[in-house]
Amino acid sequence: MTNFENMVICRCEEVTYGQLLSTAAEHKCTARELKLRTRAGMGFCGGRTCRVSVDKIIESVSPDITPGDIPLKYQPPVRPVTFGTVGEKK
């Protein structure tokens, strides 16, 4: 692998450009399938930092797949809390 292929695209799940590119080329998958196979976009940020890059990789490997085929969605980085925690006085 070259240094470019070792570049981390998804910081949350530590998925590299090379991993994404080889998986997309091998399986000819959509952005959603690539996400499920590599976990890119499934970390704490919910794909906010890597979504565009994942879409661009899919477009470069499979030109017949449009980005809107199965779009990735953003997940808010939230945790469930109780009302008692929110209304607690300090």
Q: Which of 13-17, 27-31, 55-59 has the highest mean pLDDT?
A: 13-17
Cα 60 from Cα 34, distance rounded (Å): 13
For the chain, give the mean pLDDT.
Answer: 80
Tell whether 73 is covered by a domain: yes
pLDDT value of position 17:
94
- Domain housing 38: 8-86
Q: Does residue 88 register a pLDDT over 80?
A: no
pLDDT value of position 2:
64
Count of the separate structural domains present in the chain: 1
Tell whether 65 is covered by a domain: yes
Contact in structure between 20 and 62 (CB atoms under 8 Å): no
Q: Where are the beta strands (DSSP E) in the chain?
A: 8-10, 15-16
Q: Does residue 14 register a pLDDT over 90?
A: yes
Tell whether 3 is covered by a domain: no
